[in-house]
């Protein structure tokens, strides 16, 4: 996998991310996109220390998938993306951990399941075709989006409730499938909600109902933007 390209995509997709870099024991710091935040030597020392701490933790806590360290104005997020490569991201505290985790997992095609590797457990990439057609992955995406701490939880629940008024019992299935696909194709954000709304509008056959649906959600969506 081209981790350098994935790092660039993740940084570009979330404005709260200030920069990032990759690290491996063999190559040291590479693909450094954290210019101005710290020197290469400083980043190397941070990566080395945190990778050692992670290795120790993962022996005793098998569900360790990533970690965060909070500084004065930034949060350092680190994730082992395979056996030899680490991804580190610097982001502002306003970025939701749920949103960041989901964006990274989608970008790297990481399944939520873990496999055991030599006495420890680590997250491993899944084949792209398995990821895109996995019901379990879709459920995980929805769970993240609808979690109480997610900024999208309130608007998505409101959209689902309104949709049920116009297309009936099938609304739940349409909502789940469309929302999971929307979140898989691009980073799910409040600003991107109109794109998802247009999908639901097409499911409402009656023009009057479609208009009423849009009007009912317009004030609500304006509040959360």
Assessment of whether the complete model's pTM goes beyond 0.75: no
Q: Rounded to an integer, what distance in angstroms lies between the CA atom of residue 225 and that of residue 151?
A: 10
Q: Rounded to an integer, what distance in angstroms lies between the CA atom of residue 92 and that of residue 74?
A: 5
Q: How many residues does the chain have?
A: 225
Beta bridge partners of 192: none
Q: Rounded to an integer, what distance in angstroms lies between the CA atom of residue 38 and that of residue 213?
A: 50
CATH architecture label of 3-126:
2-Layer Sandwich (3.30)
All residue ranges of the chain with pLDDT < 50 are 112-134
Query: What is the model's pLDDT at position 116?
Result: 35
CATH 3.30.450.190 domain span(s) along the chain: 3-126
37-64 residue pLDDT tens: 777 788 888 888 777 776 666 555 555 5
Query: What is the model's pLDDT at position 57?
Result: 61
Whether 213 contacts 198, CB under 8 Å: no
Half-sphere exposure of 176 (CA within 13 A, CB side): 11
Q: Rounded to an integer, what distance in angstroms lies between the CA atom of residue 11 and that of residue 43?
A: 17
Count of Cβ atoms closer than 10 Å to residue 54 Cβ: 20
What the block records as the tokens of 117 is 């590797």
């Amino acid at each position: 996998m081209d981790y350098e390209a994935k790092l660039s995509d993740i940084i570009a997709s979330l404005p709260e991310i200030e920069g990032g870099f990759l690290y491996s024991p063999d190559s040291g710091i590479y693909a450094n996109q954290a210019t101005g935040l710290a020197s290469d030597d400083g980043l190397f020392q941070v990566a080395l220390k945190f990778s050692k701490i992670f290795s120790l933790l993962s022996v005793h806590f098998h569900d360790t998938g990533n970690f965060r360290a909070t500084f004065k104005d930034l949060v350092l997020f680190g994730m082992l993306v395979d056996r030899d490569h680490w991804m580190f991201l610097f982001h502002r505290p306003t970025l939701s951990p749920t949103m960041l985790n989901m964006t990274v997992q989608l970008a790297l095609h990481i399944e939520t399941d873990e496999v055991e590797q030599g006495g420890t457990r680590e997250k491993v990439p899944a084949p792209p075709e398995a990821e895109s057609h996995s019901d379990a992955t879709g459920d995980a995406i929805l769970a993240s989006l609808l979690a109480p701490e997610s900024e999208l939880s309130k608007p998505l629940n409101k959209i689902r409730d309104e949709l049920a008024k116009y297309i009936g019992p099938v609304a739940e299935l349409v909502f789940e499938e469309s929302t999971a696909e929307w979140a898989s194709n691009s980073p799910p954000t409040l600003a991107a909600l109109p794109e998802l709304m247009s999908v639901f509008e097409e499911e409402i056959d009656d023009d009057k109902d479609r208009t009423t649906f849009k009007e009912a959600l317009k004030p609500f969506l304006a509040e959360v933007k």
